[in-house]
A and B are shown apart, each in its own frame.
Chain A
Amino acid sequence: MTGRYARRYAHVVTMPTVPAFGPEAAARLATMADVTASDTALRRFLHGLPGVDAVGLEARAATLGTRSIKTTAKSYAIDLAISMIDLTTLEGADTPGKVRALCAKGIHPDPTDRTAPKVAAICVYPDMVKTAKEALRGSGINVASVATAFPAGRTALPVKLADTADAVAAGADEIDMVIDRGAFLTGRYLQVFEEIRAVKTACQRPDGSAAHLKVIFENGELATYDNIRRCSWLAMLAGADFIKTSTGKVAVNATPPNTLLMLEAVRDFRDAVGVQVGVKPAGGIRTTKDAIKYLVMVNETLGEEWLSPHWFRFGASSLLNDLLMQRQKLSTGRYSGPDYVTVD
């Protein structure tokens, strides 16, 4: 199916790939306007995507998980993983002090080793954006804010848009929105599509620039792999800069198979439409071993072009400390332990 679209839109794909957040992406997406013209057309398109065989997908993810990443490769992967972290705190009990501490940690993750790379972003609730922005000034680290009534998304569209605009006005560089799972699961695809588009518009700043938009599916609630593939295409057609597995607030979050499936979707989308979209697994990735498995999947599914914080992120909080402990082990030859990393 995707290949057929690739041929149909051959005039588009012969052009170089453009980033989803760049100015040329809109024109590329416009070439797909026919499939998003109506609810029926969109449904026909999404349901025409090739099916996913669950057993085969899980087997492939498991096989990639057996790659043995040692010595220099491990060292490279650890630093890359640190640089891809959206260091996250999303608790009702968050305080400005905690957010500032997290920001300081994001800038210099290892107090004993200044060569440790900085993280990609600090991810907070909208009311903490201002605090984070100030704490990160000049660091080159982005502030990501969840919005659209995260994590359930159960409010009216105007409220979601106001939530987004508020976070953007406070200085958020990235917005992590949640989709309306109820609308998706009842088959109102166009409603989800329009909502993402509206949030994307709300991400624009008065100066014409825009916060990057990550679209969270909550894979655990979409339940089937077919749904995750359809949702990936839906979000990318609507202009997502990143597609993200989950909120971290439900029982099933990022898993190797559901992330692999999304990696395949962005690969196929790039081939068909010529737009490059990023992927962010979030929730449940706690160890260096896990993180390396995800990087191996990116490497063998998408290749080098996606192996950067511009195109792949980890939504995580405790992962960073494990990466730092493994990093210390590689440089000193000894395991240090949790007393030698900062607890936050």
Chain B
Amino acid sequence: MAFEYAPAPESRAVVDIAPSYGLFIDGQFSEAADGKVFKTVSPSSEEVLSEVAQAGAEDVDRAVKAARKAFEKWSALPGAERAKYLFRIARIVQERSRELAVLESLDNGKPIRETRDTDLPLVAAHFFYYAGWADKLGHAGYGADPRPLGVAGQVIPWNFPLLMLAWKIAPALAAGNTVVLKPAETTPLSALFFADICRQAGLPKGVVNIITGDGATGAALVEHPDINKVAFTGSTEVGKAIARSIAGTDKKITLELGGKAANIVFDDAPVDQAVEGIVNGIFFNQGHVCCAGSRLLVQESVAEEVLDALKRRMQTLRVGDPLDKNTDIGAINSAEQLARITELTEAGEAEGADRWAPACDLPSAGYWFRPTLFTNVTQAHRIAREEIFGPVLSVLTFRTPAEAVEKANNTQYGLSAGIWTEKGSRILWMANQLRAGVVWANTFNKFDPTSPFGGYKESGFGREGGRHGLEAYLDV
């Protein structure tokens, strides 16, 4: 008799989603000026979760004005006073973490194990970390009394909705800026719950404004003339458009864009842990991770062994209900993203790569994609060059360390890379050669608020996290 895990669903009762949400401007929820709304659905069931306001240019203007008005007092507060609010927000996030984890799983489709054990602890950690910097800005290496920039317009993606919000808002507020943030169209809910947390924390009105909407809303925000700073995380295509639109203005900008990271496994790697790292690198968060290890570069002499072990491990991945505590891989975030993953994997097959996926049942409703592996991939294949942003791994082999470096760097991106070897000197040598903002050694997809994160080349510029993350929000 097999050991079958009975369903272990996390209760939905801990989260109370209202039928509709307005825009959070100047400490108040209000409808869009033109009354437009859109629906947000749960990608695992296609159930409509709520209706949210679609902000137009007029609403964006109102939000920026509110942030501008709040800036004067907020930036004049002593750092220790701003820190108090940030510490308070961090503690409320911790207190409400179960509710927020369930909400995030519902709206995004990612498994509760990840929202509970990764997203929410990191969200709180970011606020705690930057709360600590608020009264120490003079010691951050940017002068004795660095000044904030003003109003920050922030546009975040759907893959880690609340975590990306934390990455953006925590350093901005610590440095004394006020913000207007637009969450992604498919995942607006956790940001709206965060607005409620700001009220709960007694944050002064207008310091944080949340406006929901689509790409047009985002464009209106970054193009608003009274914004001092643009921070964007998302696709390279949109990032380029933003860079073009603000060219010639004095707005400061940070972009955190796509990636096509190489996860490099040498023949002396700790094989079992490397396999875990490969799985965590590409199947974590359904592969919806800009720094995902989507290209596996494995040394020829161990390629067969590593692939056998990887396939064996992939067969134990549990795909299904995001709210089940035993789910490893949840739903693809949207029909649009599913279509893109499907198109690219079909191109992979058409171009001659070999496709493999473990047998597993997928739910009938919602958007799902099996964890997939491509072997016999060459540098010329689309699946080795374009960001798939899904649970799809392209496997290439290499013979020498130099070849590994050449292949790893042969990409338009440069966000992250992974090295697996028991040899310390090789780790250091490789890390110096790799053109990537983050290089993980014998681990992958590990995040910490103290560590700067950002890209080379078309993966963007500017750093988030750590002391470096303050620079993006200070006038230096």
Contacts and interface: CB of A to CB of B under 8 A. Distances in A.
B6 A72 contact: yes
**Residue among B273, B274, B422 with most chain A CB within 10 A:** B273
Contacts of A296: 3
A4 B443 CA distance: 24
A80 B270 CA distance: 32
A294 B7 CA distance: 19
B365 interface: no
Interface in A52-105: 52-53, 55-57, 59-60, 66-74, 76-77, 80
Interface string A303-330: 0100100000000000000000000000
A81 to B, nearest CB: 11
A159 B1 CA distance: 43
B443 A69 contact: no
B5 A67 contact: yes
A242 to B, nearest CB: 20
A187 interface: no
Interface in B97-114: 113
B3 A71 contact: no
Contact-size category for B? 20 to 34
B268 A51 contact: yes
A264 interface: yes
B270 A68 contact: no
A76 to B, nearest CB: 7
Contacts of A59: 276
A63 to B, nearest CB: 8
A173 B316 CA distance: 35
Contacts of B5: 67-69, 73
B372 interface: no
A155 interface: no
B442 to A, nearest CB: 5
Contact of B3 (A2, A56, A307): A307
A34 interface: no
Contacts of A57: 272-273
B53 to A, nearest CB: 37
A66 B6 contact: no
A72 B4 CA distance: 9
Given A3-B308, A56-B277, A68-B326, A51 B422 contact: yes
A55 B3 contact: no
B272 A264 contact: yes
B468 interface: no
A182 interface: no
Given A3-B305, A3-B308, A50 B269 contact: yes
Contacts of B2: 304, 307
A273 B399 CA distance: 28
B304 interface: yes
B49 interface: no
B325 A66 contact: yes
B232 to A, nearest CB: 32
B273 A52 contact: yes
Contacts of A2: 271, 305
Nearest to A296: B3
Contact of A304 (B3, B6, B305, B309): B3
A71 B325 CA distance: 14
Given A51-B422, A67-B326, A77-B3, A56 B304 contact: no
Contacts of A71: 6
Contacts of B276: 56, 59-60
Nearest to B276: A60
B117 A76 contact: no
A68 B271 contact: no
A300 B302 contact: no
A285 interface: no
B6 A55 contact: no
A192 to B, nearest CB: 24
**Residue among B302, B305, B325 with most chain A CB within 10 A:** B305
A299 interface: yes
Contacts of B268: 50-51
Contacts of A69: 5-6, 8
Given A2-B305, A4-B305, A67-B326, A53 B273 contact: yes
Interface string A236-272: 0000000000000000000000000000100000000
Nearest to A52: B270
Contacts of B305: 1-4, 6
Interface in B296-321: 302, 304-305, 308-309, 316
B3 A3 contact: no
Given A69-B8, A304-B2, A55 B443 contact: yes
Interface string B1-18: 111111110000000000
B3 A68 contact: no
A295 interface: yes
Contact of B270 (A51, A70, A72, A77): A51
A60 B280 CA distance: 10
Contacts of B6: 69-74
Interface string B224-239: 0000000000000000
A50 B4 contact: no
B443 A56 contact: yes
B117 A66 contact: yes
A3 B304 contact: yes
A69 B302 CA distance: 36
B127 to A, nearest CB: 24
Contacts of A51: 268-270, 422
A73 B304 contact: no
Contacts of B316: 300
Interface string A1-27: 111101100000000000000000000
**Residue among A56, A67, A70, A304 with most chain B CB within 10 A:** A56
A73 B270 contact: no
A59 B276 CA distance: 9
Given A3-B302, A55-B442, A66-B117, 13 more contacts: A1-B305, A3-B305, A52-B270, A53-B442, A55-B443, A56-B442, A60-B272, A68-B325, A70-B7, A73-B3, A74-B6, A299-B3, A304-B3
**Shortest Cβ-Cβ A-B pairs, 9 listed:** A3-B305, A56-B273, A68-B8, A68-B325, A53-B273, A53-B270, A73-B6, A51-B422, A50-B271
19 contacts: A1-B271, A3-B304, A3-B305, A4-B305, A7-B304, A50-B272, A51-B422, A52-B270, A56-B442, A56-B443, A60-B276, A66-B325, A67-B5, A69-B8, A70-B7, A76-B3, A77-B3, A264-B272, A304-B3
Interface of A: 1-4, 6-7, 50-53, 55-57, 59-60, 66-74, 76-77, 80, 264, 295-296, 299-300, 304, 307
Interface of B: 1-8, 113, 117, 268-274, 276-277, 302, 304-305, 308-309, 316, 325-326, 422, 442-443
